[in-house]
Structure formats: C-alpha cells, structure tokens
Amino acid sequence: MSDRLFVATRKGLFAVERSKRAKKPTWKIAGVSFLGDPVSIVLPDRRDGSVLAALDLGHFGVKIHRSRDGTGNWSEVAAPQYPPEPPGDGERDSFGRKLEWKLRKVWALAAGSADEPGVIWCGTIPGGLFRSPDSGASWAMVRPLWDHPDRKLWFGGGADWAGIHSICVDPRDSRHVTVGVSCGGVWVTPDGGANWKCQADGMWASYMPPEKKDDPRIQDPHQVVQCRAKPDCLWAQHHNGIFRTTDGAAWWRELKEVPPSVFGFAVAVHPEEPDTAWFVPATKDDKRVPVDGKVVVARTRDGGKSFDVLRKGLPQAHAYDITYRHGLDVDETGTRLAFGSTTGSLWISEDQGDSWTELSSNLPPVYCVRFG
C-alpha cells in the first residue's frame, strides 16, 4: 500500500506521508515544493521512484521538473514544444477561433509500461500528445494524432482549447494507448501512436445539437481510467453522464441511475476489480457544487448496477468543494483513496472510501492527487 501522496495545487506541490509512529497511523504534510507556483499535474513513476511535476508559470510558460527520488531535489527537464506553424493565416478550431500551436498546459502525464523504462506520455492543451523516451529529457509530438483530420473537430471543454487529460497505457501491450480528449472523444492507438481511431461510440453529448450529439469525435469525457487487471474495462466520467466499457472501448454503456448525480469530473477504478469504481459527484454542469452542499463519494462494486454514497468523515453541510478530474486517486492495492478539492480540502480513506479523514481544509485549490 502507498504511504506517500503527492498533491499538486495552484500554489505548489505538497508531499503527504503516512506516519507509523503514532498508535493510530496519521497522514501529514511532509514537505512542499514550488511554493507559490501552479503545479498542474504530478506523476510519481513507480518504475524507478522518480517524480515529474508540470508547472504553469503564467508569465514564463509551462515547465517540467523531475526529482530522481521524489524527495524534493528537483531539476528542470524539457517541456513539450509544438512544431512550427505552417505558413498562412494559422489554424482555427471548429468554432472558428484562432488556435495557436503553443503549449498552454500540461494536462496529463503517464508512465509507459514496465517494459519501456523512461517512456513518458504527456497530454497537453491545445490537443497535443507528446512522448518522451528519456524520462522527460526530450519530447516528440505524436504527429499522427495531431495531424489526424478529425482533430480539427475538437473544441475546448473546461479550457479555451481542446486538451488531452487522460492517458491509459495497456499493461498487456505498451503500444496500445487510450487517451481521453475534452472535447474530442476517446482515441485509441494499437501501435504506439502511428495509427489512431476514435472509440467513443455509445457516448452522447447534451451540449450539442441533436444532429451531432452521438458523434464520438465531439464527446467530453472528463476523465477516462483503465483497470490494470482487466484493461478492456474502462470507466469515463463524461460531461453529462457516467459511461463504462468492457470491450476495450468498442462500445460505452451509459449508467443512468447514479446517486446523487451523474455529473462530476473525477473517476478512479480499482486496479484489480474492474467492477469497482469511485466518483466525486457535483450537482450538474451549470451548478458546479456538491448536491445539497454535502461532499460525498459514489462507489460501485458491481459494475454500476448499484452505488453506495459514502459520506463518513466528509462535510455534510454548506460544503462547496469541487474535485477536478485529476483530484481523486486510488493506490495500487485498491484500498487507500485520496481526493482534494477546489477549496483546498484533502481527504484520505484507508478502507476503500467507507470512511474518510480530513488532512487539511486550507490547502490551495487542488489540481491533482497521486499516490506514489
């Protein structure tokens, strides 16, 4: 089980550790890096113990730092760089707005499989996927996806431009990679990025006109996660629903009866049990607060047939915490969970969500929580 947690926030990266000295184990903030700087995403790499953190410095752009052992000694590595724009008037998105080929945000970092040490995948805004063969020392854009004609159909969801926020590397075959795009659906490559196919059939979009609502290429999966033991099972928290696939994203089945709401951003799946998943719901897209001011976690253990609404240890009155798409994580055993919120709360569970302990309610807004 993981005894360490990284929390990327709008004002720095916090390391949280579990102390075994006390009679009752407790989690405490052990250190902070990049205090004052927005950290959009963090990746503890279980293959070698290193940690990558993406900073969004505002004035001075996006930077990536790496710590060999995750203990706070950081060095800057390369940041993904978009290729030169073709000559002409420049690209416009599907709504006619100018789309500059410039890195706006690192929105996803994922380690390659154990059989490809050093390989890191990176999803960006606007709409880019990059691959590093050397732990972030260098990056190359995955041009077949960027150059795919359907990318021109993508548009921003949660940001001005489309972005790749979810990257799932198949444990059985590291060349098989699934990415989630807001808004652009779910894309799958069977061959390490050379060829791509949009596989979001079954999803539908409430925010599009009827003629377009079933188009897989404009779907807004807020987050996509893959079960490690059963990689053909993936879950998606979509803009207007919760979807699940058990056939490798050939078809996504909607789960309509999910208490207290089907709206949210984050989802986590048990690494060994494909039928067990957790969500942090909010009311709806035009009312992004917890239902009735009560923070809860929805958990299913039967593939979505039924859900438990978990609230022990969570605030149940006048709580307006929202959890972003990377703000929830489950450890590698499927036992411990943690989630953070936009109002700086952080909760940890050691019993699959049955009960929660508040570690802080005063952190900066939380962007990403990762065990490692």
Partner 1 sequence: MPRVVFTPVLQRHVEATPATVPGATVREALEATFAAVPRLRGYVLDDQGALRHHVVVFVDGEAVRDRERLSDPVTPAAEITVLQALSGGST
Question: Contact positions toward partner 1, by CB under 8 A?
Answer: 38, 57-61, 63, 76, 79, 81-82, 84-85, 100-103
Q: Where are the alpha helices (DSSP H) in the chain?
A: 143-146
Say how far apart CA 176 and CA 168 lie, in whole Å: 9
Shortest Å, Cβ 81 to partner 1: 5
Say how far apart CA 200 and CA 188 lie, in whole Å: 10
Shortest Å, Cβ 205 to partner 1: 30
Closest to partner 1 by CB, 125 vs 267, is: 125
Hey, what long-range contacts does 100-105 have (CB within 8 A, 24 or more apart)? 100/126, 101/126, 102/126, 103/61, 103/62, 103/79, 103/128, 104/62, 104/159, 104/160, 104/161, 104/163, 105/40, 105/54, 105/56, 105/62, 105/159, 105/163
Closest to partner 1 by CB, 85 vs 247, is: 85
Say how far apart CA 278 and CA 328 lie, in whole Å: 9
Shortest Å, Cβ 82 to partner 1: 4
Judge whether 92 and 150 are in contact, CB under 8 Å: no
C-alpha count within 13 angstroms, C-beta hemisphere, residue 369: 31
Closest to partner 1 by CB, 134 vs 247, is: 134
Locus of tokens 């978009």: 82
Shortest Å, Cβ 55 to partner 1: 9
Q: Which amino acid is at 187?
A: W
Structure tokens at 178: 């699934």
Cα dihedral 184, 276, 290, 287, rounded to 10, equals: 20
Closest to partner 1 by CB, 49 vs 90, is: 90
Shortest Å, Cβ 151 to partner 1: 17
Shortest Å, Cβ 196 to partner 1: 22
Closest to partner 1 by CB, 101 vs 251, is: 101
Q: What angle do CA 203, 270, 14 make, to 5 degrees?
A: 100
Closest to partner 1 by CB, 57 vs 194, is: 57
Closest to partner 1 by CB, 126 vs 372, is: 126
Shortest Å, Cβ 24 to partner 1: 37
